[in-house]
Amino acid sequence: MATAFAPRVYKNFINGEWVESCGGKGMENRNPANRDELVGTFPASNSGDVSAAVDAARAAFRGWSLTPAPKRAEILFRAAEILVRRKEEFARDMTREMGKVLAETRGDVQEAIDMTYLMAGEGRRMFGHTTPSELPNKTASSVRVPAGVAGLITPWNFPMAIPSWKCMPALVCGNTAVLKPAEDTPLSTFNLTQALDEAGLPAGVLNVVFGDGPDAGAPILKNLQVDLVSFTGSTEIGRIVSEACAPTFKKCHLEMGGKNIIVVMDDANLDLAIDGALWGGFGTTGQRCTAASRVAVQKGVYRHFAEKFIARAKSLKVGDGLDPDTQMGPCINEQQLSTVMKYVQIGIDERAKLATGGHRLEDAAHAKGWFHEPTVFTDCDPQMRICQEEIFGPVVSLIPFDTFDDALSIANNVRYGLSASIYTRNINHALQAQRDLETGIVYVNAPTIGAEVHLPFGGTKNTGNGHRESGTAALDFYSDWKTLYIDFSDRLQRAQID
Ligand code: ADP
């Protein structure tokens, strides 16, 4: 059992057993708010571990795929109940390994709970279609069938929610899986796996290998026994994943970067828009693929909005996420912090106005963590790199604009297309924005973050490759359609000819 605050040595989960990595190497999981604190040591797995995990998943596939979906779902339902019971403990573990504040890690575990219950429900639905045949005395229908062994590769920013988005639909559809979580947040995946194990998941159905991308992730992509791959992470690695899946035609789902925008019109409820922009920009320290790193404000209210927004950003309390007063935690690791610092310098060099923040926090209270000030650039040109490239940190760029059409073109003129939002009281603008914003998700009078598990999640352009996570859309990725005809006419009937 995971005991809070006791560092321990963890193992991989293969064929229902906790086993050491065959290479014997380990990797440290440290608290980003206090890197002196060792949360635990996890296996730094290699291709041998991945092979063993995939073999176990392959061997378990037939039995699991023939288990009735409502029975598979009962195990998920029991896992959800375990997550409910242990929510607080798992949220605390997550804050210690990932840094985001406790309210948010509770939300992350809650999202895993919601997804697990949702997919448990899908076990009794998983509807196919029946439709009339064009020929007499013939039935036509389609059913979902399991797609095979799934390779699941996840990032660190939603350490339990994202693994659950992939595992739960994969499992309820009758696939078996190998999960490789991000190297920075293995404990939350350990906790999720433990819940599924305790709920009675048969051996080999879910296998977990901890480790880094090149050593433990890449071998999943190359393994011929893996039929489908679902990846969430950077666009750069997503391209590598896509290319690695292509030679063997693996079904591949990619969920990648974002450069999301909040548009604030002159007629918006400004206080509501400021609350939304703060939550969208600085929630999870800006480390969400749906973070609102651009806020475009119509010129009539721009100065007023900027003044209030900057003051609120400046007053955010940055610190250890376990402290109830903390409003924003650290960056996940040194590399992410340096990326943030690099982009601050880029913004300054591009002559955006640095209105607040812009520095790493290094005073006594913050020196041991990867903390950065909430940072706001004002008067930005939408073509600046800070307005075009994903930063994944607490940096928000304010962009003034004249007309609604200008706002749409600023919003759409980026390489990504995950989430966008508009604050307005004008129904015509709200509806037109919903239609014309080129993103997978559009919010009206709410920030760019806040997806719910029963609706499709994903984006366009460099954000995704057309598949969707969550809701019944996830079932489309994790199952294949099989089409069934029965001809009871007792004669040869030729479709399209007779
Ligand atoms: P982030 O920027 O969020 O860390 P990455 O794209 O670097 O995102 O990583 C997302 C996930 O992809 C992590 O689990 C990471 O270990 C994994 N990963 C990184 N490189 C590779 C690779 N070459 N092959 C497979 N997985 C990888």
Domain spans in the chain, listed from the N-terminal domain onward: 3-256+464-483, 261-444
CB 10 within 8 A of CB 183: no
CB 303 within 8 A of CB 348: no
- Is 289 in the active site? yes
Q: Does the pTM exceed 0.95? A: yes
Which residue, 51, 55, 43, is CA-closest to 222? 51
- Over the chain, what is the mean pLDDT? 97
Which residue, 236, 116, 217, 215, is CA-closest to 167? 116
DSSP 387: G
What's the pLDDT at 204? 98
**Ramachandran quadrant class, 100 (left: phi over 0; alpha: psi -120 to 50; beta: rest):** beta
What's the gap between Cα 114 and its chain centre? 15
Distance of CA 235 from the midpoint of ligand 1 (Å) = 10
Band of pLDDT at residue 6, cut at 50, 70 and 90? low
Distance of CA 269 from the midpoint of ligand 1 (Å) = 40
Q: Which fold has domain 3-256+464-483?
A: Aldehyde Dehydrogenase; Chain A, domain 1 (3.40.605)
Band of pLDDT at residue 3, cut at 50, 70 and 90? very low
What's the pLDDT at 5? 55
Give residue-wise pLDDT tens across range 59-106: 999 999 999 999 999 999 999 999 999 999 999 999 999 999 999 999
Q: Name residues contacting ligand 1 (CB within 6 A).
A: 153-156, 180, 182-183, 212-214, 217-218, 221, 233-234, 237, 240-241
What's the pLDDT at 7? 67
Band of pLDDT at residue 2, cut at 50, 70 and 90? very low
- Is 134 in the active site? no
User: Which secondary structure element, helix H or strand E, spans residue 235, and what is its range?
Assistant: helix 235-245
Six-digit token pair at 389? 């490239």
Distance of CA 216 from the midpoint of ligand 1 (Å) = 10
Give residue-wise pLDDT tens across range 395-425: 999 999 999 999 999 999 999 999 999 999 9
pLDDT at 355 over 60: yes
- The answer to whether 3-256+464-483 and 261-444 have equal CATH topology is no
Angle 186-198/69-85 helices, nearest 10 degrees?
120
Give residue-wise pLDDT tens across range 139-149: 999 999 999 99
Amino acid at 480: D
pLDDT at 271 over 50: yes
Q: Which of 6-20, 282-296, 373-387, 420-434 has the lowest mean pLDDT?
A: 6-20
pLDDT at 4 over 90: no
What's the pLDDT at 352? 98
Q: Which fold has domain 261-444?
A: Aldehyde Dehydrogenase; Chain A, domain 2 (3.40.309)
